């Protein structure tokens, strides 16, 4: 029997949300190695990063809230291109849903919110990367219409 779907409120993250967000980012997932440490104490660099993100109109750390509780988070960045006649692209990163609440519509609500925001902000494409080990996540993104059209590459510094 499946769990009932939840309807989260997507909003900008606040400093008070950081302990839960960092905890979610620290949970191992499908072979995806994690390096975040939720404390306590919470490393002040998380707050500094959130402040920098909040100051940038093309960046947002967002949470999905259910019944007053952070149930998921993601980062949305708008990238201004010169190519494509100066169009914008929306980049989604660090998508996470509380493991105990997965399969209840929270991830889909976050992605639909991001896609709608990208349209509202004049983006011609929404893109994301996903660790190759996260096969369940890949099926989720494909169900939402994302296509594995490019090979992503990263250089660790």
Percent of the chain predicted with pLDDT > 90 = 79
Inter-residue contact 125 to 90 (CB < 8 Å): yes
Q: Which residues contact 139 (CB under 8 A, 6 or more apart)?
A: none
Number of Cβ within 10 Å of residue 154's Cβ equals: 6
CA 87 to chain centre: 22
Q: What pLDDT does residue 37 have?
A: 83
Average of per-residue pLDDT across 58-63: 98
Predicted confidence at residue 2, as pLDDT, reads 73
pLDDT at 31 over 70: no
β-bridge partners, 37: none
CATH of span 10-143? 3.40.630.30
Q: Write out pLDDT tens, residues 87-104.
A: 999 999 999 999 999 999
Q: Which residue has the tokens 């939402």?
A: 144
Domain boundaries in the chain?
A: 10-143
pTM value is 0.92
Residue 33 has a pLDDT of 63
pLDDT above 80 for 34: no
Beta strand 59-66 with 69-80 is antiparallel
The pair of three-digit structure tokens given for residue 71, joined into one six-digit string: 């149930």
**What is the average pLDDT across 112-141?**
94
């Amino acid at each position: 029997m499946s769990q009932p779907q939840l309807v989260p409120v997507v909003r900008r993250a606040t400093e008070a949300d950081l302990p839960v967000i960092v905890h979610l980012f620290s949970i191992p997932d499908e072979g995806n190695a994690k390096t975040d440490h939720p404390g306590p104490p919470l490393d002040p660099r998380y707050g500094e990063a959130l402040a920098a993100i909040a100051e940038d109109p093309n960046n947002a750390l967002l949470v999905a809230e259910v019944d007053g509780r952070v149930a998921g988070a993601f980062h949305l960045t708008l990238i201004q291109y010169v190519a494509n006649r100066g169009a914008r692209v929306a980049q989604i990163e660090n998508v996470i849903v509380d493991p105990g609440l997965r399969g209840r519509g929270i991830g889909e609500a976050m992605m639909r919110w991001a896609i709608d925001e990208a349209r509202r902000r004049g983006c011609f494409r929404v893109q994301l990367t996903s660790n190759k080990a996260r096969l369940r996540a890949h099926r989720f993104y494909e169900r939402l219409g994302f296509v594995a059209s490019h090979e992503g590459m990263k250089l660790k510094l």
